[in-house]
Structure 1
């Protein structure tokens, strides 16, 4: 978080200090889950199979 953010939202800055940056952590975990799902499920072959029917 930049210093401009902490002066504009001191309550948020305090929460980040106490609890960590929860939105950033959620974003990181969501991106990781999407990558794992992309590796586990290959939708490309499903589209190809459905199109050939």
Structure 2
């Protein structure tokens, strides 16, 4: 079943998936996979795009 889109714009760099777990290929002593967590640097882990800041040009 499709989900409804929200009105808040999604980050274009992470496409709304701001935090991911990456497996390293090794295993911990208890047998689980060792993972690294990566966070989107553009949206700072929110998954949402913020409005651009107002920039004053000229004098």
- Tell me if TM exceeds 0.5: no
Q: Which of 1 and 2 has higher RCO (CA within 8 Å, sep 6+)?
A: 2
Bigger Cα Rg: 1
- Please give the TM-score of this superposition, normalised by the length of structure 2: 0.28
